[in-house]
A and B are shown apart, each in its own frame.
Chain A
Amino acid sequence: MARIDVNINLNRVEGDLEIGLTLEDGVVTEARTIGTLYRGFEQIMVGRTPRDALVITPRVCGICGTAHLYSAVLALEQAWQVPVPANATRIRNLCLIAEGLQNDFRQTFLFFAPDFCNPRYNRQPWFTEALAAFEPFRGAIYLETLATTRRVVEIVAHFGGQWPHSSYMLPGGVTLSADMRRILACRAVLDEVQRWYEQRIVGASLDDWLALDSADAYFGWLEASAHADSGLGLLSRCARSLGLHRLAAGTPHMLSSGSWCDPEHWAFNAEVRLLPGGFYNGDTGQIEAVDQQLINEHVRHSWFRPYQGGRHPWQGETVPDFQPNSDRYTWAKAPRYGDKVVQTGPLAELLIAGDALITSLHAAEGGNAWLRQFARVRRVALELLHARRMLDELALNMHEPHFLDMPKSRELDGEGYGLVMAARGILGHWLRIKNGQVDKYQIVTPTAWSASPRDSAGIPGHWEQSLVGLSVQDPDNPVEIGHIIRSHDPCLVCTVHMLDTGKRVRFAP
């Protein structure tokens, strides 16, 4: 029996990550996700004035800084019980959507789809089409994605002055109002993105695409040229011919906070979202209401000061304690919902929100690598729909305030949390203010859920589970691993390290 240990370094944008795989006879039998970098943003926050969170935490990530800013401001507004005007929520949502759009397109067509141009597939009937569409710097969809995504984050810049790492949200609103110039500029960007999405990515109008509501109907579309020849249609044909719709389900449980605060009904004590959130219980198939009190983090296999079991973020801590030569293997914690390992991201978001097409595909084939990627592109339709709605409502209500000033006397000690759906899934910030300073700050990112190590009960995290059982045809060209890893949207360079030969194979985004 051949036994090979493979290490995959996911080494880039925000922090270093590595996956260690054990292959037996070409099949993955064990996976460990290893966070190789202690980051410590939570510790940086302790002792600071609470508003520093609005400047420091957007730096957690170069891709989803708007989501961190949004989470931080919601946590502060809850702690200080601050009302927020509807226009502020509309602008926050619009910017979060713009950030999501750039991620969804880039992740799909710059990082995931180019793997279909791997020479391994040169005998596949779709290989020539894949090269024409997805080949880096040559494929038509690849080039169009570069151009389109450069424009879409201009929406954030209109309100935040810059992207990434902007700090334009503050308790009680946002720093700039939506005047007609900004609304028209944002609408022009969205028009361009929507036209491209309809014509080149799905091959249908937004209305027709959103009306598609069943797996059978979708498979019928895949037989018709308008969708089959589109970017998503080609991606689906490639992925499904390789069997990615039967691989890498990972955990069956899913979690979503719900997407985009409802401008008219959101309040610090009223969790009302435009797309509803929930916990999808993979054992029962039922969707339950989210209870943030059930979120907890374990450190049993992590390099942090040990504590028993899991702790809710308000009771949690992030105290580094490197323990080499032990069974601890990562700088990441293991978040759990109750005792459940969950996955999050577009598939969880749309399934829990009740998108009919995603629900039908999930019922037909279960969770899988293709559906995770497919859901990311499906989500774009809802992002476009709601971004347009936010702009229309802003245009109708331009006279309303974008900021409600609050007296300093309101900045009392207390606790607050903010949950949003970032591009990669549920993101939460929890803080406690004591004597006017941050006493505790805990951040649970989407990637923390996905790249979780084993918990106190020894149960592996979602990525770890999704890789076990995967067949790797050629350890020197493990493109199968690339498909799976990228379907999780790590947005990181992926280097496969063959421990026995010392050979490295890199999947660079």
Chain B
Amino acid sequence: MRHILCFGNPLHGDDGFGYAVYQRLAGLALPDDLRLFDVGTPGLAALTLFQGCDDVLIIDACRSGGEAGRLSRPLPETVMAEASLAGHGVGVGYILQALAALPETMPRIHIIAVETATVTAFRPGLSAAVLKAVDEVVVLLRPYFLDDAA
């Protein structure tokens, strides 16, 4: 089983990237071995979404100083060391640390992150650069939605 977890809050500018990706992917037919989640900002409640699966793909926004809209694939170990984005509750970094500390084997974790342009509280709407990145991720993830995808 594979999980795609879309993190973020659409009320806070580019932090809504994950939700925008979710909305696009939710219109596609899901293969039997794939589950898609609009995770939001659930804090520790997200831990259960890493259970019952072998692979997890995290979609989220980040701010690392790079060019806005640029996609990256940070390693889980890198994200664990990072502080949470404002408004994320207990952030993805914390959740990954908690998973690593728990006794059972972690699923394989992949992360796709977009570099944000603006994350302003209660200013909904993506910047043009991040909006373009939504299209890129949907194309990138097309193989996930093929029945014979690994």
Contacts and interface: CB of A to CB of B under 8 A. Distances in A.
Contacts of B47: 146, 150
Interface in A78-113: 106
Q: Which 5 A-B pairs have the closest CB atoms?
A: A137-B101, A150-B47, A146-B98, A143-B101, A137-B97
A143 B102 contact: yes
Interface string B93-122: 000011011110000000000000000000
B82 to A, nearest CB: 13
A44 B144 CA distance: 39
Interface of B: 42-45, 47-48, 84, 86, 89-90, 97-98, 100-103
A452 B97 CA distance: 35
A150 B90 CA distance: 14
A282 interface: no
Given A143-B101, A154-B48, 15 more contacts: A62-B43, A106-B44, A137-B98, A137-B100, A137-B101, A138-B101, A143-B102, A146-B44, A146-B101, A149-B44, A150-B47, A150-B48, A150-B102, A163-B45, A164-B45
B89 A62 contact: yes
29 contacts: A11-B86, A12-B89, A13-B43, A13-B89, A62-B42, A62-B43, A62-B45, A62-B89, A137-B97, A137-B98, A138-B101, A143-B101, A143-B102, A143-B103, A146-B98, A146-B101, A146-B102, A147-B102, A150-B47, A150-B48, A150-B102, A153-B45, A153-B48, A154-B48, A163-B45, A164-B42, A164-B45, A508-B84, A509-B90
A401 B42 CA distance: 33
Interface residues of A, number: 18
Contacts, number: 37
Q: At the interface, is chain B mostly helix, strand, loop or mixed?
A: helix
A450 B44 CA distance: 24
Contacts of B84: 508
A106 B89 CA distance: 14
A182 B42 CA distance: 25
Interface string A149-193: 110011000000001100000000000000000000000000000
Nearest to A153: B45
Nearest to B97: A137
Interface in A466-509: 508-509
A138 B48 CA distance: 21
Contacts of B102: 143, 146-147, 150
A150 B44 contact: yes
Nearest to A143: B101
A161 B147 CA distance: 27
Contacts of B48: 150, 153-154
A30 B68 CA distance: 44
A508 B98 CA distance: 15
Contacts of B42: 62, 164
Contacts of B100: 137
Nearest to B45: A164
A12 B90 CA distance: 8
A44 to B, nearest CB: 14
Contacts of A137: 97-98, 100-101
Interface centre among B44, B102, B103 (most CB of A within 10 A): B44
A427 B42 CA distance: 22
Contacts of A146: 44, 47, 98, 101-102
Nearest to B122: A37
Contacts of A147: 102-103
A106 B101 CA distance: 15
A13 B43 CA distance: 8
Nearest to A14: B89
Nearest to A102: B44
B98 to A, nearest CB: 5
Nearest to A149: B44
A72 to B, nearest CB: 20
A106 B44 CA distance: 10
A299 to B, nearest CB: 23
Nearest to B88: A12
Contacts of B45: 62, 153, 163-164
Contacts of A143: 101-103
Contacts of B43: 13, 62
Contacts of B89: 12-13, 62
A199 B44 CA distance: 24
A508 B89 CA distance: 10
Interface string A328-357: 000000000000000000000000000000
A106 B84 CA distance: 19
A106 B90 CA distance: 13
A471 B130 CA distance: 48
B11 to A, nearest CB: 12
